[in-house]
Amino acid sequence: MTGRDCWASWVLRARRPGDPELETLAGELFRTVRGRVLDRAALTEGETLLDVGCGDGLIAFGAVERGAGLVIFSDISQDLLDESRRLADELGVTDRCRFLRAPADDLHELVDESVDVVTTRSVLIYVDDKESAFREFHRVLRPGGRVSLFEPINRISRFLDGYDAEDVEELDDRVKRVFRELQPRETDPMLNFDDRDLVELAERAGFERVHLILEVETSPPDPAPWDAVADMPPNPRVPSLREAMEQVLTADERERYEAHMRPLVEGGLGSRRMASAYLLAVKKSG
């Protein structure tokens, strides 16, 4: 994946994290999300679906399988669009696909009322101007069109904070400060919104009906290989845990920090809180 942009490198690595068990779990999660997003969209055969932030086509190819007449793959990453086109060629479905490089908040190449369904999966968390994105979704939808999305609610979620780092508290704080400074909770688009904001944004954009399901689960984290966790950045805009350690810890400090954290991660000895939202919004008919 050398030479790919940060979005493509991260998306494709998330699909193939380098550990068979993690890959199986990731695949199951992605398929579940795809199924729920498309089920809620109530896509019917022959309709046009726009998948915003398509990545390598997880939801878009699911829409092709369900009989969409045209699927528009939209992403800011040309590398991911190229990967989606390659997969479409392999599947022999390119004639039912269109590829569009565009951000979620500026879909000007699409004319008004030209699609039946808009989908996203973990896309708005990267968008600063979420209000413009919702306005664009509403604009391109035909009357009666639907937007169906899945978004993590990171304001509620808890990841590495769920491990007991009391014995290495000062080291842990330095490592976590790397991420806090890169993505401040109050201003970063991944962290500064929740489910209520999504509802209000959809209403302000003009959607007639809005339905949101918020899911929050607190549980012990799944045991995972330390190296896989340490080397996988949490998102495309930040370094991996190992890279953060190398930035702020000496070699001896890294050894001590890893010696403490590795058994916790590999034993699933902590607490994880995951929050996500599924939103369905319907544009007024006629």
Name the CA radius of gyration of the chain, rounded: 20
Angle at 178 between CA 177 and CA 179, to 5 degrees: 90
- The model's confidence at residue 94, banded by pLDDT at 50, 70 and 90, is very high
Same domain, 235 and 212: no
Q: Checking DSSP bridges between strand 141-152 and strand 272-282, what pairing results, if any?
A: antiparallel
pLDDT tens-digit readout, 97-130 = 999 999 999 999 999 999 999 999 999 999 999 9
Query: pLDDT value at position 77?
Result: 95
Same domain, 175 and 98: no
Percent of the chain whose pLDDT exceeds 70: 98
pLDDT tens-digit readout, 33-58 = 999 999 999 999 999 999 999 999 99
Residue 9 pLDDT greater than 90, yes or no: no
Residue 265 pLDDT greater than 70, yes or no: yes
- The model's confidence at residue 2, banded by pLDDT at 50, 70 and 90, is low
Same domain, 171 and 120: no
Residue 237's contacts (CB-CB under 8 Å, 6 or more residues apart) are 6, 126, 182, 183, 190
Same domain, 167 and 284: no
- The model's confidence at residue 263, banded by pLDDT at 50, 70 and 90, is very high
pLDDT tens-digit readout, 222-251 = 898 999 899 988 899 999 999 999 999 999
The more confident residue out of 13 and 38 is 38
Same domain, 7 and 91: yes
Same domain, 236 and 132: no
Number of domains the chain contains: 2
Question: How would you class 12 by CB atoms within 10 Å of its CB: exposed for 0-12, middle for 13-18, buried for 19 or more?
Answer: middle
Same domain, 164 and 249: yes
CATH number of the domain where residue 109 is located = 3.40.50.150
Residue 13 pLDDT greater than 70, yes or no: yes
Same domain, 45 and 82: yes
Cα of 81 vs its chain's centroid, Å: 16
Residue ranges making up the domain that contains 143: 1-153+193-220+271-286
> Could you give the C-alpha distances from 126 to 99, 151, 187, 224, in angstroms and in order?
20, 10, 12, 26
Mean pLDDT over the full length of the chain: 93
Query: pLDDT value at position 24?
Result: 79
User: Please, are residues 208 and 284 in contact by the beta-carbon 8 Å criterion?
Assistant: yes
Query: pLDDT value at position 1?
Result: 42
Alpha carbons 55 and 70: distance in angstroms, whole number: 17
Q: Token pair of 111, please? A: 């004319």
Query: pLDDT value at position 26?
Result: 78
Same domain, 227 and 140: no
Same domain, 149 and 172: no
Mapped onto helix, strand or coil, the DSSP state of residue 189 is coil
Give phi and psi for 150, each to the nearest 5.
-125, 130
Q: Checking DSSP bridges between strand 97-101 and strand 115-121, what pairing results, if any?
A: unpaired
Q: What is the DSSP letter of 214?
A: E
- The model's confidence at residue 18, banded by pLDDT at 50, 70 and 90, is low
What is the arithmetic mean of pLDDT over 201-213? Answer: 98
Given its phi and psi angles, is residue 109 left (phi above 0), alpha (psi -120 to 50 degrees) or beta? alpha
Same domain, 30 and 94: yes
Query: pLDDT value at position 14?
Result: 64
Tell me the β-bridge partners of 141: 115
pLDDT tens-digit readout, 144-163 = 999 999 999 999 987 777 89
Same domain, 275 and 263: no
Q: Token pair of 126, please? A: 């990267």
Residue 96 pLDDT greater than 50, yes or no: yes
